[in-house]
Amino acid sequence: MTQLAADANAFDADVIIVGGGPVGATLALALSQSTAPLDVLVLEAQADFSARRDTRTLALSHGSRLILERVGIWQKLSSPTPITRIHISQRGSFGRALLGADEVGMPALGYVIAHSELQTALHEALLTCGARYLRGAQVSEVTPGAAAAQVHYMREGATQTGKARLVALADGGRSLQIPGIVRTSRDYRQSAVVCQVHTELPHHNLAYERFTEEGPAALLPSGDHYALVWTATPERAQVLLALNDADFLAQLHTHFGDRQGRFLAATPRLSFPLSLHQSQPVTREHLALIGNAAQMLHPVAGQGFNMGLRDAWELAQATLACVPEAIGGTAMLKRYSAGRRLDTQGGIFFTDLLVRAFSNRMPGLRQLRGLALSALDALPPAKSFVVRRMIFGAKG
């Protein structure tokens, strides 16, 4: 659709996506589904994804499954494990809630997949979807502008410039500063230790979320084992990383109790520092921030990528609904950001509240939390409210 002319009004692409991670790649695939394909350029800093083995697992909501189905990726994943129920408790106090997908007549609350498998499927689809996909392209600058946004990037030793009606920044939020966009942060002073563990009893698709005063811990059914996300202070996380397997499994047992019997084996452990980062505003002239570039959340509710997928999907729909001249224009981006506000602000508020209310030693709070969990468990309308939001995000 875009003509590569040399005059000042020419564009190098209709849409340039900075970052070919899971959110940027999903945007490119969603845009490629149009009957009048747009010219999409994806700039990814890494030259080789196979070099980056991310052993994390991701809990995806049922809503995210629907998006991945529409872009043809879900069908390529070998074995997503459904989560049909989730058991929520707090350590050292009463109160627990059991939420099930049957509460709202859905087949699953969500699914657990391997991050590396998702990334590989997306990467392969990017190679054939019609978008231009440049790997080893490190973007150094993004500038919004009245008629177009511009990017500068370095590839094969040469600096290049690209101009587009819309630049979507999906770089994960760590690499670039954009004029007019402020990124605020809250350091939770927590790290997530992740690995896979085998338990004595089979999981029967039941997930656990256990709140403790040092942070939440989750067990997510994944294949024939559990994926563990254990949040602790950075100092304690270092200790957990350094333990031998037997000592680690013993500490995990003390932390979680024996609902799943004994913990039998663990894979090598990794840790991730946890913070909340939020960019404001998430759009400027001919520029939109999506995924972790717009908001990076604590993984307590497994919402980060789910929210990023909805950013990508809705930005693609807003773009495809425009005539070419209106792509990236003020009206389109206003509609897009207004449409995303409730979901993102609601999700950020809910996640931050969970982390701060449950990782807190304030007198009386433990009892309050216990009462809240018991009330949630006893009230079917409250359960279905929470379950719908787990599945579809803050818009329910």
Ligand X SMILES: Cc1cc2nc3c(=O)[nH]c(=O)nc-3n(C[C@H](O)[C@H](O)[C@H](O)COP(=O)(O)OP(=O)(O)OC[C@H]3O[C@@H](n4cnc5c(N)ncnc54)[C@H](O)[C@@H]3O)c2cc1C
Note the residues at the interface with ligand X (CB under 6 A): 18-24, 43-46, 56, 58-59, 138-139, 170-172, 175-176, 192, 194, 229, 272, 291-292, 299, 302-306, 308
Kindly state the smallest distance separating residue 312's Cβ from ligand X, in Å: 8
Say how far apart CA 23 and CA 122 lie, in whole Å. Answer: 10
Closest to ligand X by CB, 172 vs 328, is 172
Q: How far is the CB of 320 from ligand X (least distance, A)?
A: 20
Burial of residue 117, with CB atoms counted within 10 A of its CB: 0-12 exposed, 13-18 middle, 19 or more buried: middle
Q: Is 96:87 a contact under the CB 8 Å cutoff?
A: yes
The residue with its CB nearest to ligand X is: 21
Smallest distance, ligand X to C-beta of residue 94, A: 27
| Tokens describing residue 42 | 């994806």
What is the smallest separation between the CB atom of 24 and ligand X, expressed in angstroms?
A: 6
| Least spacing, CB of residue 29 vs ligand X, in Å | 13
* Residues 29, 346: Cα–Cα separation, whole Å: 27
Strands 110-114 and 81-83: antiparallel
CB of 31 closer than 8 Å to CB of 316: yes
In the complex, minimum distance from the CB of residue 304 to ligand X, in angstroms, rounded to a whole number: 3
Residue nearer to ligand X on the CB measure, 144 or 172: 172
Q: Are 196 and 266 in contact, with CB atoms under 8 Å apart? A: yes
First and final CA of the chain: distance in angstroms? 36
Q: DSSP letter for 269, please.
A: P
d(CA 353, CA 357): 6
Write down the least CB distance from residue 121 to ligand X, Å: 14
Q: Is 373 left (phi over 0), alpha (psi -120 to 50) or beta?
A: alpha
Query: For ligand X, which is the closer residue by CB, 43 or 148?
Result: 43
Shortest Å distance, C-beta 366 to ligand X = 26
Closer residue to ligand X, CB minimum distance, 18 or 327: 18
Token pair 């500063």 is found at 177
Tell me whether residue 215 or residue 299 sits nearer to ligand X (CB atom): 299
> Considering beta carbons, is residue 56 or 132 the nearer one to ligand X?
56
User: C-beta of 264: minimal distance to ligand X in Å?
Assistant: 23
Helix (H, G, I), strand (E, B) or coil at 377: helix
For residue 328, which of 140, 165, 189 has the smallest C-alpha distance?
Answer: 165
The tokens for 221 are 């059914």
Ramachandran sector of residue 205 (left: φ over 0; alpha: ψ -120 to 50; beta: rest): left
Q: Which is nearer to ligand X, 118 or 148 (CB)?
A: 118
Closer residue to ligand X, CB minimum distance, 313 or 322? 313
Contact 57, 223 (CB under 8 A): no
What token pair was written down for 111? 């699914």
Angle at 332 between CA 185 and CA 66, to 5 degrees: 75
Q: Toward ligand X, which CB reaches closer, 215 or 304?
A: 304
